[in-house]
């Protein structure tokens, strides 16, 4: 950390002394700025929350009664001697990078992000800064995504093929973001989309705030299990291969995640299909985003931090790894959203 | 090779064996004999001779991709498969070449006689002309065998469908020492006369673990019992005046056990024995670690032969006087075996693994509890009328092992897995107390559920005290119950003991580190059972 450090890395999370607040802290604090609603970023127990207006409904849905204020993208808020603004991260609806300027020094915390416009989230917007704290979940050159359109084509082909054979298609996807993104890319002329309650809950929240999603039907104990061979079911990953899936009879299952790019992980999941689609930046995306900030200091968190930081150093950046004990990680890293 | 790559993709895109079998059969139907033969070759773990080193592959892939070598190496460490890593990091191909599977293999083999520059040019040009799945398959042809979740059984079934023969016959035909250069699809699969290859073993028949009580097996009189030994399962073949020894891993290990060379002088041609290879002293077997000194060596020195002499403890007879007798019931094969071995000289390193007489399950359970005193790890139960079948099939043969040993130990180091477990911490070192100090005792990799591996991985990331390369020293906080099959003295281990088959039996959330076992507890076990 240099003498103009705007942020420091403390046991409770990333801290800004000038504004006395934390970003995505993982221990309860007085004041928390939240990049987005995923469980490894938005935790319970803080006295005060600040997020984007678009992220707010899901935050309330997930965290219950919280004291929450919101900002629109790019709107500036003075907190202590820090000037704070939220900028689109393209990760999930309402997700933000947070820019903090103290004196002449500008820092950006990326949160989770991806560069491809998914048509659902506000598209990623590069923000210039001196220091950039970036995630690097997929920070290895083996991770390079195909375009969303190509992946949707594959998924729809698989679904149509199952439907033609009277086999129910079950897709495991995270409930916030990935599920809705898939939903928007599905070809509903093939059949109906049914949803697991955990996913429909988020759908409901998003529809209520004006985000347009294709029609879905929540699965209830009364849902007709027979004669639904052409349906596709969206479910949380944990529901795959469970008794919950088995009651739909003859199914083919798939998991949609960036991790599906590795054969080993695909085998471990032992699903029929792994669709490589991620809400995180791939290798090229990370490098492009970092370059676009114009930052000299890059702090890397979440992912293959050692390798990625070494790579950045070799490219001439001043790069450091933020120790994960200062940022927390999700209990379940494969489920990082 | 498009069709073969498509087959590999299809095999990976389903977890259902029926569909896998169908896909392989459909492929075999649709390609010429040479490609069929190579497909079966690759899927049975055989591979073309390697002409490109792993080092060369990495360096050329680094040049072709523009990524520094260290970045490629670090990526490989995560992916766990060099062929896959390279296929992923290379830029998209600029041209397209289509050759059949066997053409590619022959082209690769022809590289052997070329200089490095020519090899390099060939590989780079090939990478630049092959798309995703084909590029991966191409790399696998260079580096190693395919592991595509196709068991030998499944492949035998697919080949049997195509050749219209029984699965058992195909499984047998696919065993042994054949190579695509020396055989044809016709000779291997279709020809009437099977006995061209003298060393060809029979597929091993395997027992399943008995989870319930033996009462569930019905009348005791329908069953035979033997000790379950802790050695190497072996098949010893005497044909054409020679002796061939196969391990259960289908490896020809004749040279590792020269003791058996004299068998042809005492047993007639056309004898095939199934049994356990054990280090033998004073008419009883020694622990497995004694045998370990002989594994991993191509040939065996005089001193090893003196210090760790082996015998074959025979328990089944598969061929007698050139006739395949696997379809005879166990009790008759067993009787024949007993007759044959009753007249062999005791100087021959060949013994009959005894039958255990019993009249009811309760008395047999008592016998089982004495397994360790008898140098065994439990019992094997064989149905009297059981045929010698192929592979693992539940029902006719059961292994009824003793319960494992258990100790509680503290996790102190963690290392990330690769391949299937690329993004998880899966390799752990456990320690026990020596006074107020934790002494490393054993490593263990398996036994937790995926959910538990994910949970502990998150914890490891947050609780790393120090790093030593890929190894993380973690806060000694979590206690695990370690199950193991045996214990013996070891100079190589700091603790002075080594465990056999250690694995994580349970994550003891309910225990604090100070409640873990001590070195003294292990020394006691060693005294009793080592
Ligand atoms: Zn996220
Ligand atoms: Zn995250």
Ligand 2 midpoint to CA B154 (Å) = 41
Which one of A98-102, B16-20, B505-509 scores highest in mean pLDDT?
A98-102
- pLDDT confidence of B337, banded at 50, 70, 90? very high
Structural domains of chain A, with CATH: 8-142+279-321 (3.60.15.10), 148-275 (3.40.50.10890)
Chain B, nearest residue to A137 by Cα: B423
State whether residue B450 sits within 8 Å of chain A by CB.
yes
Tell me if A328 and B15 make a contact (CB, 8 A cut-off). no
Structural domain boundaries enclosing B275: 205-401
Chain B, nearest residue to A158 by Cα: B13
- pLDDT confidence of B194, banded at 50, 70, 90? low
Residues B370 and B423 in one domain: no
- Residue A332 in this model has a pLDDT that exceeds 70: no
Assigned domain for B342 exists: yes
- Are A193 and A183 contacting, i.e. CB atoms less than 8 angstroms apart? yes
What is the domain-level CATH number for residue B325? Answer: 3.30.470.30
State whether residue B149 sits within 8 Å of chain A by CB.
yes
Assigned domain for B193 exists: no
Backbone angles phi, psi at B205, to 5 degrees: -100, 130
Q: Which helix (H) or strand (E) holds B22?
A: helix B17-30
Q: Which helix (H) or strand (E) holds A283?
A: helix A283-293
- Residue B7 in this model has a pLDDT that exceeds 50: yes
Residues B224 and B249 in one domain: yes
Residue A108: partners with Cβ closer than 8 Å, 6 or more residues away: A87, A97, A98, A99, A100, A127, A129, A131, A132, A133, A293, A295
Residues B252 and B356 in one domain: yes
Residues B220 and B90 in one domain: no
Span of A24-33, A268-277, B147-156 with lowest mean pLDDT: B147-156
Chain B residues near residue A141 by CB distance under 8 angstroms: 65, 67, 71-72, 75, 88-89
- Are A54 and A72 contacting, i.e. CB atoms less than 8 angstroms apart? no
Residue, of B190 and B194, whose pLDDT is higher: B190
Q: Which of B366, B401, B436 is the last residue of a domain?
A: B401
Which of B462, B464, B466, B467 is the best mutation test for A, with the most CBs of A within 10 A?
B462
Residue A227: partners with Cβ closer than 8 Å, 6 or more residues away: none
Convert the pLDDT of each residue in B170-179 to its tens digit. 988 888 778 8
Assigned domain for B376 exists: yes
Tell me if B420 and A330 make a contact (CB, 8 A cut-off). no
- pLDDT confidence of A330, banded at 50, 70, 90? very low
Ligand 1 midpoint to CA A36 (Å) = 7
Assigned domain for B165 exists: no
Write the DSSP assignment of A129-186 as a string of letters.
Answer: -SEEEEEETT-STT--PPPHHHHHHHHHHHHHHHHHTT-EEEEE--TTTHHHHHHHHS
Tell me if A141 and B70 make a contact (CB, 8 A cut-off). no
Regarding pTM above 0.90, the answer is no
- Residue A33 in this model has a pLDDT that exceeds 50: yes
Per-residue model confidence (pLDDT) at position A225: 67
Assigned domain for B155 exists: no
- Are A284 and A291 contacting, i.e. CB atoms less than 8 angstroms apart? no
How confident is the model over B437-451, as a mean pLDDT? 89
Q: How many CB pairs under 8 A join A and B?
A: 92
Chain A residues near residue B70 by CB distance under 8 angstroms: 310
Tell me if A332 and B458 make a contact (CB, 8 A cut-off). yes
How confident is the model over B374-388, as a mean pLDDT? 93
Assigned domain for B338 exists: yes
> CA-to-CA distance for A114 and A286, rounded, in angstroms?
8
State whether residue B64 sits within 8 Å of chain A by CB.
no
Residues B425 and B372 in one domain: no
Tell me if A140 and B418 make a contact (CB, 8 A cut-off). no
Structure letter (DSSP) for residue B186:
I
ipTM metric = 0.93
- Are A89 and A38 contacting, i.e. CB atoms less than 8 angstroms apart? no
Q: Which of B121, B143, B165 is the last residue of a domain?
A: B143
Per-residue model confidence (pLDDT) at position A59: 96
Residues B214 and B360 in one domain: yes
Chain B, nearest residue to A271 by Cα: B15
A212-246 burial code (b ≥16 CB/10 A, e <16) = ebeebeebeeeeeeeebbbbbbbbbbebbbeebbe
Nearest to A176 by CA among A200, A193, A151: A200
Tell me if A272 and B451 make a contact (CB, 8 A cut-off). no
Chain A residues near residue B422 by CB distance under 8 angstroms: 262, 264-265
> CA-to-CA distance for A322 and B392, rounded, in angstroms?
50
Q: Which helix (H) or strand (E) holds A288?
A: helix A283-293
Per-residue model confidence (pLDDT) at position B465: 84
> CA-to-CA distance for A80 and B326, rounded, in angstroms?
85
Per-residue model confidence (pLDDT) at position A337: 44
Compute the nearest-CA separation of B112 from chain A (Å): 30
How confident is the model over B34-60, as a mean pLDDT? 90
The number of beta carbons lying within 10 Å of the beta carbon of residue B66 is 11
- Residue A336 in this model has a pLDDT that exceeds 60: no
Residues B107 and B219 in one domain: no
- The number of folded domains in chain B is 3
Assigned domain for B209 exists: yes
Which one of A216-230, B319-333, B422-436 scores highest in mean pLDDT?
B319-333
Q: How far apart are the first and last CA of chain A?
A: 28
Q: Which of B143, B162, B183 is the last residue of a domain?
A: B143
Residues B421 and B442 in one domain: yes
Cα B345 to Cα A73, A167, B342, B352, distances in angstroms: 91, 64, 8, 12
- Could you give the residue numbers annotated as active site of B? 228
Residue found under tokens 């699969």? B189
- Residue A51 in this model has a pLDDT that exceeds 90: yes
> CA-to-CA distance for B363 and B366, rounded, in angstroms?
5
Assigned domain for B173 exists: no
Chain A residues near residue B89 by CB distance under 8 angstroms: 141-142
State whether residue B454 sits within 8 Å of chain A by CB.
yes
Name the average pLDDT for chain A: 91
How confident is the model over B66-91, as a mean pLDDT? 93
Per-residue model confidence (pLDDT) at position A266: 83
Residues B397 and B271 in one domain: yes
Tell me if B15 and A324 make a contact (CB, 8 A cut-off). no
> CA-to-CA distance for B391 and B134, rounded, in angstroms?
32
> CA-to-CA distance for B305 and B297, rounded, in angstroms?
12
Residue B426: partners with Cβ closer than 8 Å, 6 or more residues away: B415, B416, B417, B445, B453, B457
What is the domain-level CATH number for residue B9? Answer: 1.10.3260.10
Name the average pLDDT for chain B: 90
Residues B120 and B244 in one domain: no
What is the domain-level CATH number for residue B457? Answer: 2.40.50.140
How confident is the model over A132-157, as a mean pLDDT? 96
Per-residue model confidence (pLDDT) at position B182: 85
Residues B253 and B130 in one domain: no
Residues B388 and B339 in one domain: yes
Per-residue model confidence (pLDDT) at position A187: 97
State whether residue B418 sits within 8 Å of chain A by CB.
yes
């Amino acid at each position: 950390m240099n003498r103009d450090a705007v942020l420091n890395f403390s046991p409770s999370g990333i801290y800004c002394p000038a504004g006395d607040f934390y970003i995505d802290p993982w221990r309860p604090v007085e004041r928390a700025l939240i990049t987005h609603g995923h469980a490894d970023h938005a935790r319970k127990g803080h006295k005060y929350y600040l997020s984007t207006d678009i992220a707010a409904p899901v935050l309330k849905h997930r965290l219950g009664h919280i004291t929450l204020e919101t900002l629109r993208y790019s709107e500036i808020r003075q907190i202590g001697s820090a000037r704070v603004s939220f900028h689109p991260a393209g990760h999930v609806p309402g997700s933000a990078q947070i820019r903090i300027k103290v004196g002449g020094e500008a820092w950006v915390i990326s949160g989770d992000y991806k560069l491809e416009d998914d048509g659902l989230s506000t598209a990623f917007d590069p923000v210039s800064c001196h220091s950039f704290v970036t995630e690097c979940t997929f920070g290895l050159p083996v991770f390079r995504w195909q375009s969303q359109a190509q992946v949707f084509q594959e998924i729809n082909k698989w679904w149509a093929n199952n439907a033609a054979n009277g086999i129910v298609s079950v897709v495991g996807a995270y409930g916030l973001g990935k599920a809705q993104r898939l939903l928007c890319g599905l070809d509903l002329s093939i059949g109906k989309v049914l949803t697991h309650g955990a996913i429909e809950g988020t759908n409901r929240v998003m529809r209520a705030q004006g985000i347009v999603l294709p029609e879905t039907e929540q699965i209830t104990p009364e849902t007709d299990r027979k004669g639904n061979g052409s349906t596709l079911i969206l479910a949380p990953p944990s529901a795959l291969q469970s008794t919950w899936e088995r009651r739909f009879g003859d199914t083919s299952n798939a998991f949609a995640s960036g991790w599906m790019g590795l054969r080993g992980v695909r085998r471990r999941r032992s699903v029929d299909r792994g669709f490589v689609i991620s809400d995180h930046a791939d290798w090229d995306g990370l490098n492009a985003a970092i370059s676009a900030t114009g930052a000299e200091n890059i702090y890397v968190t979440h992912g293959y931090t050692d390798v990625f930081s070494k790579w950045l150093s070799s490219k001439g950046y001043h790069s450091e790894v933020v120790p994960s004990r200062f940022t927390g990680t999700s209990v379940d890293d494969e489920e990082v959203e | 090779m498009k069709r073969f790559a498509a087959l590999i993709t299809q095999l990976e895109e389903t977890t259902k064996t029926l569909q896998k079998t169908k896909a392989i059969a459909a492929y075999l139907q649709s390609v010429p004999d040479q490609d069929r033969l190579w497909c079966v070759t690759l899927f049975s773990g055989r591979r073309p001779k390697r002409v490109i080193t792993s080092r060369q592959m990495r360096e050329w892939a680094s040049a072709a991709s523009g990524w520094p070598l260290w970045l490629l190496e670090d990526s490989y460490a995560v992916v766990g498969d060099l062929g896959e890593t390279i296929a992923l990091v290379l830029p998209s191909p600029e041209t397209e070449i289509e050759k059949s599977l066997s053409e590619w293999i022959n082209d690769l083999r022809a590289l052997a006689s070329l200089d490095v520059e020519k090899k390099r040019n060939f590989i780079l040009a090939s990478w630049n002309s092959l798309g995703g799945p084909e590029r991966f398959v191409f790399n696998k042809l260079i580096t190693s065998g395919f592991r595509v979740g196709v068991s030998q059984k499944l492949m035998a079934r697919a080949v049997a469908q195509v050749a219209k023969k029984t699965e058992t016959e195909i499984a047998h035909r696919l065993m042994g020492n054949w190579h695509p250069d020396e055989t044809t699809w016709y000779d291997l699969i279709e020809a009437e006369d099977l006995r061209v290859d003298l060393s060809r073993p029979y597929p091993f028949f395997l027992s399943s673990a008995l989870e319930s009580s033996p009462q569930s097996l019905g009348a005791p009189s329908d069953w035979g019992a033997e000790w379950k030994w802790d050695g190497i399962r072996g098949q010893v073949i005497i044909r054409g005046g020679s002796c061939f020894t196969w391990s259960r891993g289908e490896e020809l290990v004749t040279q590792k056990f020269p003791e058996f060379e004299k068998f042809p002088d005492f047993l007639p041609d056309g004898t095939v024995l199934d049994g356990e290879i054990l280090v033998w002293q004073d008419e009883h077997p020694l622990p497995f670690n004694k045998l370990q000194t002989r594994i991993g060596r191509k040939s065996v020195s005089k001193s090893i032969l003196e210090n760790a002499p082996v015998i074959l403890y025979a328990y089944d007879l598969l061929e007698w006087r050139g006739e395949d007798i696997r379809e005879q019931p166990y009790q008759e094969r067993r009787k024949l075996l007993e007759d044959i071995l009753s007249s062999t000289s005791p100087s021959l390193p060949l013994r009959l693994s005894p039958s255990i007489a019993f009249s009811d399950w309760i008395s047999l359970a008592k016998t089982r509890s004495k397994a360790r005193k008898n140098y065994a790890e439990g019992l094997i139960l064989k149905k009297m009328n059981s045929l010698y079948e192929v592979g693992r099939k539940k029902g006719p043969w059961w292994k009824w092992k003793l319960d494992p040993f258990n100790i509680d130990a503290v996790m102190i180091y963690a290392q990330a897995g690769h391949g299937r477990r690329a993004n998880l911490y899966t390799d752990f070192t456990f320690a026990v107390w020596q006074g107020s100090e934790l002494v490393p005792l054993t490593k263990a990799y398996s036994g937790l559920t995926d959910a538990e591996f994910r949970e502990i991985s998150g914890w490891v990331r947050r609780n790393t005290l120090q790093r030593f390369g890929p190894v993380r020293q973690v806060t000694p906080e979590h206690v695990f119950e370690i199950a193991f099959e045996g214990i013996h003295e070891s100079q190589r281990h700091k603790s002075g003991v080594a465990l056999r088959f250690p694995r994580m039996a349970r994550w003891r959330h309910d225990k604090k580190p100070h409640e873990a076992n001590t070195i003294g507890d292990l020394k006691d076990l060693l005294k009793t059972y080592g």
